[in-house]
């Protein structure tokens, strides 16, 4: 089973929110969708689950067009969180589970497993409005996965969570992936994407600016960071043509160069000058790549 987004476009009036993106996600894969605010992530999600019609192109799951209303194949955690504040957690989940065609006793069994996993069993009979924002988010996540969907779409699942809850949710998402669910999620927290996804797409104003396997993207990316420490003054590196960025650190310097050849050249210059204590070439972080690719859009 595969999710295929084929040359999809979405226009709102004159504004093109999504501009010809194509993505294929294999069964059981965890796929990351990145982009600055307004880049088109939520619009793409809404097209995947059939809440919005593409202006052009198609989205299919296992060869079929999806419709959120009529299918229990999909689980969706929307960006705008919305539970009924006056309902208890239990009644809320029973209501939402029934909409997905589940029987009440199955809903209650599944709900209790999840409440235990999230260490919030005492909330079963509490009203949603009595829960903290982070705990409401856990309940909304449970609502999205209670019926064991084949395809799970998570729009900013980690936003607003403290590190403990964030780790708990990550473990839950991995658990669901281990059971064969295909997961697509968006996040502004690059470390989460780095930790969890093999493949990504990075959107800028509705267009894909980067796409593919994350390890390959990093390896082939035109930036290398080099950490250096030596027994002599390294400030001359600022003037070297190969060095595009120079920062002094506690233990030496960190420079950026464009590729491995440039790193080799710097190494031989340093070796000629004297003893090099440390010379470590690192792949760029996804954070560095995001800033490089999406740049000023991230602040819009």
Our finding on whether 53 is near ligand ATP (CB under 6 A) is no
Question: Minimum distance from CB of 286 to ligand ATP (Å)?
Answer: 16
Pairing of strands 2-12, 276-282: unpaired
**Spatial separation of the C-alpha atoms in residues 27 and 1, rounded to whole Å:** 5
Angle separating helix axes 163-178 and 133-145, nearest 10 degrees: 0
Q: Note whether 297 binds ligand ATP by CB under 6 A.
A: no
Nearer to ligand ATP, 41 or 224 (CB): 41
Measured on CA atoms in the order 185, 222, 284, 293, is the torsion positive or negative?
A: negative
Applying the rule CB under 6 A, the residues between 70 and 129 that interact with ligand ATP are 79
Does 19 engage in binding with ligand ATP (CB under 6 A)?
Answer: no
Q: Which is nearer to ligand ATP, 155 or 288 (CB)?
A: 155
Name the token pair of 122. 């005492």
Q: Which is nearer to ligand ATP, 48 or 183 (CB)?
A: 48
Taking CB under 6 A as the rule, does residue 43 contact ligand ATP? yes
Judged by CB under 6 A, the residue of 12, 84, 95, 232 near ligand ATP is 12
Question: In 3-state terms, what secondary structure has residue 73?
Answer: coil
Kind of pairing between the strands at 276-282 and 224-230: antiparallel
**Span near ligand ATP by CB under 6 A; candidates 34-42, 56-64, 122-130, 161-169:** 34-42
CA distance 292 to 285: 11
User: Does residue 42 touch ligand ATP according to CB under 6 A?
Assistant: yes
Residue 65 contacts residue 50 (beta carbons within 8 Å): yes
Report the residue from 23, 30, 31, 35 that binds ligand ATP according to the rule CB under 6 A.
35
Residue 124 gets which letter from DSSP?
Answer: T
Closest contact distance (angstroms) between CB of 42 and ligand ATP is 3
Bridge partners of 199, per DSSP, are 31, 213
Residues making contact with ligand ATP (CB under 6 A): 12, 15, 17, 35, 37-43, 79
């Amino acid at each position: 089973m595969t999710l295929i987004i084929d040359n999809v476009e979405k226009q709102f009036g004159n504004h093109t929110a999504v501009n010809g993106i194509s993505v294929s996600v294999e069964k059981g894969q965890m796929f990351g969708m990145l982009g600055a605010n307004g880049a088109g992530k939520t619009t793409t999600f809404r097209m995947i689950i059939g809440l919005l019609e593409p202006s052009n192109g198609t989205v299919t799951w296992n060869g079929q067009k999806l419709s959120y209303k009529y299918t229990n194949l999909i689980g969706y955690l929307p960006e705008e969180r919305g539970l009924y504040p006056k309902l208890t957690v239990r009644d809320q989940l029973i209501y939402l589970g029934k909409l997905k065609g589940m029987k009440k006793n199955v809903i209650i069994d599944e709900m209790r497993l999840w409440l235990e996993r999230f260490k919030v069993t005492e909330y079963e009979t509490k009203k949603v409005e009595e829960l903290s924002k982070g705990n409401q988010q856990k309940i909304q996540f449970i609502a999205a996965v209670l019926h064991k969907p084949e395809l799970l779409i998570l729009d900013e699942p980690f936003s607003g969570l403290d590190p403990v809850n964030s780790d708990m949710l990550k473990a839950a998402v991995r658990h669901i992936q281990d059971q064969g669910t295909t997961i697509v999620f968006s996040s502004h927290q690059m470390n989460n994407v780095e930790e969890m996804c093999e493949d990504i797409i990075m959107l800028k104003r509705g267009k894909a600016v980067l796409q593919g396997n994350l390890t390959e993207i990093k390896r082939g990316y035109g930036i290398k960071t080099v950490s250096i420490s030596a027994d002599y003054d390294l400030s001359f590196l600022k003037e070297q043509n190969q060095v595009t960025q120079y920062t002094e650190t506690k233990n030496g310097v960190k420079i950026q160069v464009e590729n491995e050849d440039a790193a080799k050249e710097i190494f031989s210059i340093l070796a000629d000058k004297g003893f090099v204590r440390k010379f470590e070439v690192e792949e760029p972080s996804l954070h560095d790549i995001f800033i490089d690719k999406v740049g000023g859009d991230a602040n819009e």
